[in-house]
Amino acid sequence: MGSKLSSTLVSTAVITVSATFCIYLIRKKKRENRIPTEWKKIGNAKRLYIFPLKSGHYIEIDAAECTEVGFRLLKSANCPLQLRDRSFVVYGENDGQIRSGRAVPSLVRIEISVHDENHIALDAPQMRTLYVRIPEKNENNTKIVSVWSGETIETIDCGDEAARWLSHHIVQKDSGYRLGYHDALVRRNLVRHQERMKFYEYMTDAATGLFSDVSSVLIVNQASYNDYHQKVPTANVTPLNFRPNIVVYGPDIKPYDEDNWKWLKIGENVILKNVKECTRCVFTTVDPETGKRNQDKEPLSTLTKYRLSRSPEDEPIMGIHLEVKKAGIIKTDDPVYIG
């Protein structure tokens, strides 16, 4: 009887302690998810980029609307179409797999720009400009494409002319590759499909972009790039090898400070949360202008020596992935605060 009573007491105590601990953890997490009220200025948004095509050529911009799924162009008389970051993708006609610059470096030479309110222009060296209508989803033009991890994404196919143009540019053939479009109406199921994401406490599907690898916004700290560059001054690597949306610069920012930035405010409105370090793949070794692979495998070979992630990915880091907590306009030189 006595031992039964004491074992009941022990179990009650264990349950109470674990429940209290759980409540503590939940509260801690809630607190960490709360937008800070105090901010400290660290620098400015020095450069802004948008990449309408996944792995395609960049466009440098002086302002963007930072939406939940990433940057889009501001509407103006010169820009009647609000092209979104990574809203187009190249996929294999036969395998339905999306292609990135890892496998097809010549994608970086493809430029997608605004032609009019419902057409984009496709350009590449030695190719004639092709105007492509932004497709509207209908019963015949959707295609489920797959990402390397097994995740699938619905895309809207841009038609045969765009497919022929892309195939000519990539393999000098009439077919093989097609152009897909994302209308930004559904979010991805990335975390469920990528075991490696579980290492990062704050990485959820709320952080995902359209066809970007991980998140809607990628930031590179200019000081971190400079530190890398000092180690290998002859390597032909620029911040654009890392394909950032925003390059942050401040005279007092130290290399790799971004590892400890939890929250960022840019300008007076946009609020971002750091959800994950950006682990880098072989695509960073592709020259963003020429599409040629770096002979010395820079920047990966040097970064691997001193900036390896402790995550199971075992890849070097440059940049941070962010979730957009509060959308708004970002302009070049806007102040950047941490909280």
Ligand X SMILES: *[C@@H]1O[C@H](CO)[C@@H](O)[C@H](O)[C@H]1NC(C)=O
* Contact set with ligand X (CB under 6 A): 138-140
Q: Max CA-CA distance within the chain?
A: 90
Using an 8 Å Cβ cutoff, are 332 and 62 in contact? yes
338: three-class secondary structure by DSSP:
strand
Q: State in angstroms the smallest separation of the CB of 141 from ligand X.
A: 7
Q: State in angstroms the smallest separation of the CB of 166 from ligand X.
A: 22
Q: Which is nearer to ligand X, 94 or 138 (CB)?
A: 138
Q: Which residues contact 337 (CB under 8 A, 6 or more apart)?
A: 39, 40, 41, 42, 264, 265, 266
Q: State in angstroms the smallest separation of the CB of 136 from ligand X.
A: 9
Q: State in angstroms the smallest separation of the CB of 159 from ligand X.
A: 11
The enclosing H or E element of 130 equals strand 130-133
Sheet holding 111-116, edge to edge: 111-116, 119-123, 130-133
Q: Which is nearer to ligand X, 140 or 172 (CB)?
A: 140
Using an 8 Å Cβ cutoff, are 68 and 216 in contact? yes
Question: ω into residue 316 within 30 of 0, thus cis?
Answer: no
* Amino acid found at 325: K
Q: Which is nearer to ligand X, 139 or 252 (CB)?
A: 139
Q: Which is nearer to ligand X, 137 or 187 (CB)?
A: 137
Q: State in angstroms the smallest separation of the CB of 78 from ligand X.
A: 32
Q: Which is nearer to ligand X, 141 or 146 (CB)?
A: 141
